[in-house]
Amino acid sequence: MKFTAATSLVLLAAAGSAKYDIPASSSANCCFNGALVEGGKQSGLILSTQFWTTNGKDTENNGPKDSTAIHGLWPDYCDGTYPQFCSNVSGIPEYTGEQIGAVMQKYDPALFAYYQKYFKDLDGDTTDFLAHEYNKHGTCFTTMRPKCQPTLPWISQEDFAVLNYFRQFAHKFQERPTYNYLAAAGILPSATQNYTLAEIQSTLKQAHGATPYVGCNKKGEISEFWFFWHTRGTVNFGQYAPVESTTKSSCPASLRYLPKP
């Protein structure tokens, strides 16, 4: 795609901002996560999210005992709200779980194997969960539109977007080994010991560079972590900068960090 020098200067000057003065119809929205419709909000935040699951129907569904599990890579607006299931307005086609799995197995079998280990819902399903995450969140990034992808002889533009979304999805998870961060600070899963939310947040802020969201269930048990980022460029290939969570923790001041069974 071709962009004018003026457009390039605007993008460079405002990189990382969620307030570009660029119409939703502009091809410049291939360069950053812009508004899906005219007058709409721009996705100034990206969240890489993780589960800490202890209640899967089968213990294997919880993922490895010494690691969190992958949850998602989501677009959020800077006010804390978010778009979802955007295919009808973004023009990004939805995929079934089987189709996503087939793309991974064809072009990156090791990636598919990685998801089989670290990405499962409570029922142990990987492919349906892939479809849910992609169709709910992946279709809401303007930079994921097929027309924004390179034209290559060996892969369609649609499959290229899907493949690299899930590569980035896994990469951001690997970049934030939450279990290891906490363990290094002496915070280990325990059936008897309570921890404070403040010490969890402080430890993760030191590692991430900003305070993430720490989520708990109604029993005050840790269930998830969300790391917030601003991006310079596309969701799949942009530069990510840590930022503070826009969502208040759902955990009490004293919480449980239970071991996986």
E strand or H helix at 196: strand 194-196
Residue among 132, 137, 171, 244 flagged as catalytic = 137
Asked if 230 is an active-site residue, the reply is no
Asked if 137 is an active-site residue, the reply is yes
Residue among 38, 98, 133, 171 flagged as catalytic = 133
Strands (E), 6-68: 45-51
Please work out, in degrees rounded to the nearest 5, the angle formed at the alpha carbon of residue 19 by the alpha carbons of 28 and 49: 90
Alpha-helical regions (H) of 17-143: 87-90, 97-107, 109-118, 127-136
Q: Are 80 and 228 in contact (CB under 8 A)?
A: no
SS3 of 224, please? strand
Asked if 133 is an active-site residue, the reply is yes
Residue among 71, 208, 224, 230 flagged as catalytic = 71
Residue keyed to tokens 């598919």: 112
Residues designated as active site: 71, 133, 137
